[in-house]
A and B are shown apart, each in its own frame.
Chain A
Amino acid sequence: MPDSPSTDPLGQASEASHAAALLLYGMQFAVFERDGPRHFTAVSAAPIWFERLTEREPATDPTALTEYFPALEGFLPMAEEFWQTASTQSLQSDFWTEADAEGIEYHLLAIAVTAGPRHFLAIERADATYINHQQLQLYAHEMVIQCETITRLNREVKRATQAKSEFLATMSHEIRTPLNAILGMADLLAESHLDADQQKYVDVFQRAGANLLGLINDILDLSKVEAGHLELESVNFELAEVIARVLELTRVKATAKALALGSSLAEDLPPMLIGDPPRLRQILINLLGNAMKFTDAGRLDVEVSRDPEDEHAGALLFRVRDTGIGIASDKLDVIFENFSQADSSTTRKYGGTGLGLAISRRLVELMGGRIWVESTLGQGSTFLFTVKLGVCDLPSLVAASHEAAARAVTTPTDLPVVHILLADDSEDNRFLIREYLKRTPCNLEFAENGETALGMMKFRHYDLVLMDAHMPVMDGYAATCAIRTWEQQHGGRPVPIIALTADAFKEAVDQSLSAGCDAHLTKPIAKATLVEAIRLHALACDQPPQSVPAPIAEAESSLSALAPRYLENMGKQLEVLRLAESLEDYGTIQRVGHNLHGTGASFGFPRITEFGIALEQAAKDRAMSKIRTAITEFEWYVQHLLAV
């Protein structure tokens, strides 16, 4: 504080008020009484900081204060209102900042108060409060900026993942197309007359091709999960059947390595569950395949029990136990990462890409569970995983594996005479399909693109169209749409169209179905699959007698003999129905219903015709609950028949 102010600010002040003025000189407040609109008189000596600020420029009207402090323009109208009403004790302005002639900053606040009839205005130098508030706000802003950065990075990662997934989808198409030709030719070669050496070469050829296909499928699966494209099915299934099927697939290899294979299911498991059995099978096959790879002697076991840490009836704990080489304790976590194995040298010794466990982990997580491993080096490993599945109230319907029964062996020669149009731009694929059907009574014609196929359709009747999705000029989807439109305009019966694509993503299947295709085959297509699809779709369609009378009569007379096969094929119709139901694709449901309606009774199953009529009508009415009921009853009926 200075020794004394240079002049007495209050002029005629008493000794006491002079002492007060001395004290106030260093204070934080400058206090004024409002004695008229925009007229303020100092009630005490002004503090030094106030003088520094008012010294900057002379004011024409010092009593108004706003010439010194323009920021008060924003506050005084509100203060006036406060003084008139005085509904609260005081009214405080926002901070404002002033700098004196030397550039030193002062952070100020104005406070309006009332004392009886008198009104006062104080201006406070509030640097400390300002800096506190500023600090708090800085933290808040830093957090917002970090949040924005994280959001931006997330967006970039998402974009990159999507780009990767699209790249993989494209690559899968590009790789699968030639692979289709390679595997198909290997199949054909294997059927021809070969000497022992040649047979061995073709075996290697086929096995290597199948491995490559498996690898591509793994990469696709992983990228689908990572890109969030993988959706789990929700269907009723029997756990015992899934385990039986998995063991059946693993047994050949286990026997070859002289390993014992066993399974045990706890007694309190629900017999019927709701979930995605193919994906559950995939996890178990991955884990068993892995166990087998690292086990040279002893046994492999699959055990299933209720998850002791989850009371829900559908919460299960799976154990896949082996007596193999085991895993070091510090590697127990890393093995579930992509492309990772416990020891990179094992890759050379045991092979594999390390994708199987990564896929399994993601599938398990999608099923609401977790996966981990317990192991002692040299004594074997136990892979454990939990899943949360739905529990189905329906009683167990199938005693024996009907899936095994459904995998009927088909021989090409028992196909009926069908006229098939194949639209495919790839000469290799046209050749392959021609070779596949060489020894069948099928009559095959070719189109090189969708436009040609459409033109041919208009002039000839075909019993079936095989439509490649990606073709120049007009692609398969556009051609299918055009064919369906043409059929509607000309009152023709819809010809069954089977889409052929190299794209394994669910979107591709959806796209074919919504374009109006009846089914979708993913390349590489095995000969048996193609023959089966031709049988199913060519027969499921009513064929107009005028086009090829003789063979059709022949086909009709053989219909009842085909009843068992027809029933087995209902499984595929069910899959289509389930998919169409989940997509609310009423067109497909109506078409399948129409097929069932037209074929069930002919094959000796009038009940299937009834389901067909119900589905057809419900799809027309867009009555989803009726559709669900009909599909469930249909499924029950078919499974029941198959079990007999």
Chain B
Amino acid sequence: MIQKKICMVGSFGVGKTSLVARYVKSIFSDKYFTTLGVKIDKKSLSVEGEEVNLMLWDLAGEDALTQIKPMQLRGASGYILVSDGCRVSTLDAAIDLQSRVEAELGSLPFTCVVNKVDLRDNWEVDDAALDRLRTLGWSFLLTSAKSGVGVEALFQSLAERMVREKKIDAR
């Protein structure tokens, strides 16, 4: 069995914990609890007939005082940059965060997520902002932890890309 660590990173309140809860437990709560430190969940899935055990490290969201701890990123095989479509500043923050994570971990598979697509009518993130992600050459997904849109595909596709990466082995 292959074990892979994935880090959920992004600004506070964008829905990192909710995405994991939707994926692992198929639940969603509207109530916002900010995450302190880290919360680790596990979920197994099958990639090309092989069982993969994902360790989902849900890291505390960044704010003015809290920054990602490089120590918590270590050993990751991939990461998910989460932003909130209703707050364009969180997408800018995700773009900034990506370069810091890459400096720490090197080049790894990652997916950028613009979350809360169920609230699309209230989005600040517009087509121009999404075009910017395309210009960066990023793979990105529009998701909703509330409705579940894109969540399964997010983890499945990232897991597939990580397994294909030969360089980083599971312990």
Binding site for B on A (CB under 8 A): 70-71, 73-75, 77-78, 93-98, 103, 107, 130, 133-134, 137-138, 140-141, 144-145, 148, 152
Contact = CB atoms under 8 A, between A and B. Distances in A.
Given A73-B75, A74-B74, 18 more contacts: A70-B40, A71-B38, A73-B74, A74-B38, A77-B71, A78-B71, A93-B37, A94-B36, A95-B36, A96-B39, A107-B36, A130-B36, A134-B34, A137-B12, A137-B34, A145-B13, A145-B87, A148-B87
B63 A141 contact: yes
A71 B34 contact: no
Nearest to A69: B40
12 contacts: A73-B74, A74-B74, A93-B37, A94-B60, A95-B38, A97-B36, A97-B37, A97-B38, A97-B39, A137-B12, A141-B12, A144-B64
A306 B153 CA distance: 75
Interface residues of B, number: 25
A569 B28 CA distance: 78
Given A74-B74, A141-B13, A95 B37 contact: yes
Nearest to A139: B34
Interface string B16-46: 0000000001000000111111111000000
A240 to B, nearest CB: 56
A138 B63 CA distance: 11
Contacts of B75: 73
A97 B40 CA distance: 7
Given A74-B74, A130-B36, A138-B32, A94 B63 contact: no
Contacts of B134: none
A140 B39 contact: no
A104 to B, nearest CB: 13
A71 B33 contact: no
Given A74-B72, A74-B74, A137-B34, A96 B40 contact: yes
A97 B69 contact: no
Contacts of A78: 71
Nearest to B71: A74
A70 B55 CA distance: 9
The 6 closest A-B pairs by CB, nearest first: A95-B37, A94-B37, A97-B39, A74-B71, A95-B36, A74-B72
A142 to B, nearest CB: 9
B51 interface: no
A125 to B, nearest CB: 14
B124 interface: yes
A71 B40 contact: yes
A361 to B, nearest CB: 35
A71 B89 CA distance: 29
Contacts of B69: 74, 94
